[in-house]
């Protein structure tokens, strides 16, 4: 059984919801990433979405765009991230899903990517510009290697899309809470509840909600509706604000993660 499946099963049996932060690997540089992940886990993260930077992140708003750029500017590559995984795994045990745009994986080689990622201790992948319709190769290699393929559903998804995407998803289904790019919003989108209702009609797989969730209040509200809550831009903003002071960066990220995680656990 994949580590992501195990985590959601374990939380379900405890009546709890999952908190899943997002950070970009290599932001501000790869030497900070293992300690950041250790801090995220010790502050209550249940799973981690770890970004592989790409030069043209079309699904991302300004916060994660800047985060990708900082990471690329410090020389981060997929190969170096995979090399760093051994240091990460020495410090943290939480399930990790890579988030990458498709071209980076295509260039690395789909089969090599899945095998190297599994060997490095990565549990699955989220590729926002790869709908299942184009993912036959990835899905086939991933199934053979017990590597989760997490696809996205959105408020615009029709019943037909819900069927295709929920079938192809393993680990969990990533529900985008709004129509738009990643980034903090003032309130939780009104589109979320009806979208979740629609997903439930097609699947009983765990659903984690991301895009536009940035405060403990929002995280708590979302956790009442779904099995998992993903917060990215708001955490990345904390990293950005403290990029020149690594100790303070770890403290602030830890403090903010704790608040978010406590809020999720309250729900």
Catalytic center residues: 49, 60
Q: Does the protein bind another protein through residue 106 (CB under 8 A)?
A: yes
Residue 53 or 254: the one with the smaller Cβ distance to another protein is: 53
Stretch of 31-39, 157-165, 236-244, 259-267 lying at the interface with another protein (CB under 8 A) = 157-165
Give me the least distance between CB of 35 and another protein, in Å please: 24
Which of these segments, 104-112, 140-148, 199-207, 253-261, binds another protein (CB under 8 A)? 104-112
Number of residues that bind another protein (CB under 8 A): 39
Output the CA–CA distances (angstroms, integers) from residue 6 to 148, 165, 219, in the order listed.
12, 21, 22
217 is an interface residue for another protein by CB under 8 A: no
Nearer to another protein, 78 or 94 (CB): 78
Is 158 a binder of another protein (CB under 8 A)? Answer: yes
DSSP the chain: --HHHHHHHHHHHTT--EEEEEEETTSS-GGGHHHHHHHHHHTT-SSEEEEPP-S--TT--HHHHHHHHHHHHTT--HHHHHHHHHHHHHH--S-EEEE--HHHHHHH-HHHHHHHHHHHT--EEE-TT--GGG-HHHHHHHHHTT-EEE-EE-TT--HHHHHHHHHH--S-EEEE-SSS-SS--SS--TTHHHHHHHHHHH--S-EEEESS--SHHHHHHHHTTSSEEEE-HHHHHHHHHTTT-HHHHHHHHHHHHHHHHHHHHH-
Q: Is 51 in the site for another protein (CB under 8 A)?
A: no
Candidate list 4, 23, 35, 78; residue touching another protein; CB under 8 A: 78
Contact call for residue 199 and another protein (CB under 8 A):
no
Contact flag: residue 29 with another protein (CB under 8 A): no
Binding of another protein by 202 (CB under 8 A): no
85 binds another protein (CB under 8 A): no
| Residue 142, phi-psi category: left (phi > 0), alpha (psi -120 to 50), beta (remainder) | alpha
Q: According to CB under 8 A, which one of 134, 137, 144, 197 is a site residue for another protein? A: 134
* Greatest distance between any 2 Cα atoms in the chain: 48
User: Is residue 56 close enough to count as binding another protein by CB under 8 A?
Assistant: yes
**Contact flag: residue 151 with another protein (CB under 8 A):** yes
Whichever of 105 and 231 has its CB closer to another protein, that residue is 105
State the nearest-atom distance from the C-beta of 145 to another protein, in Å. 21
- Least Cβ distance, residue 235 to another protein (angstroms): 21
């Amino acid at each position: 059984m994949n580590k992501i499946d195990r985590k959601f099963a374990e939380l379900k049996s405890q009546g709890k919801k999952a908190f899943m932060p997002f950070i970009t690997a290599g932001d501000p540089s790869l030497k900070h990433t293992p300690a950041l992940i250790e801090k995220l886990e010790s502050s209550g993260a249940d799973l981690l979405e770890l970004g592989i930077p790409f030069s043209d992140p079309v699904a991302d708003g300004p916060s994660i765009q800047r985060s990708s750029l900082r990471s690329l500017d410090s020389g981060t590559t997929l190969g170096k991230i995979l090399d760093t995984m051994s240091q990460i795994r020495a410090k943290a045990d939480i399930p990790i899903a890579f988030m990458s745009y498709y071209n980076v994986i295509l260039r690395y080689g789909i089969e090599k990517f899945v095998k190297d990622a599994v060997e490095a201790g990565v549990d699955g992948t989220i590729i926002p510009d790869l709908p299942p319709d184009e993912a036959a190769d990835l899905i086939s290699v991933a199934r053979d290697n017990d590597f989760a393929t997490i696809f996205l559903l959105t408020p615009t998804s029709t019943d037909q899309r819900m069927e295709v995407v929920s079938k192809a998803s393993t680990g969990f289904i990533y529900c985008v809470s709004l129509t738009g790019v990643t980034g903090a919003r003032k309130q939780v989108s009104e589109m979320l509840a009806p979208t979740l209702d629609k997903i439930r009609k097609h699947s009983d797989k765990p659903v984690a909600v991301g895009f536009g969730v940035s405060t403990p209040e929002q995280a708590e509200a979302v956790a009442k509706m779904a099995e998992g809550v993903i917060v990215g831009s708001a955490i990345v903003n904390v990293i950005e604000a403290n990029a020149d002071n690594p100790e303070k960066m770890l403290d602030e990220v830890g403090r903010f993660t704790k608040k978010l995680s406590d809020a999720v656990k309250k729900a």
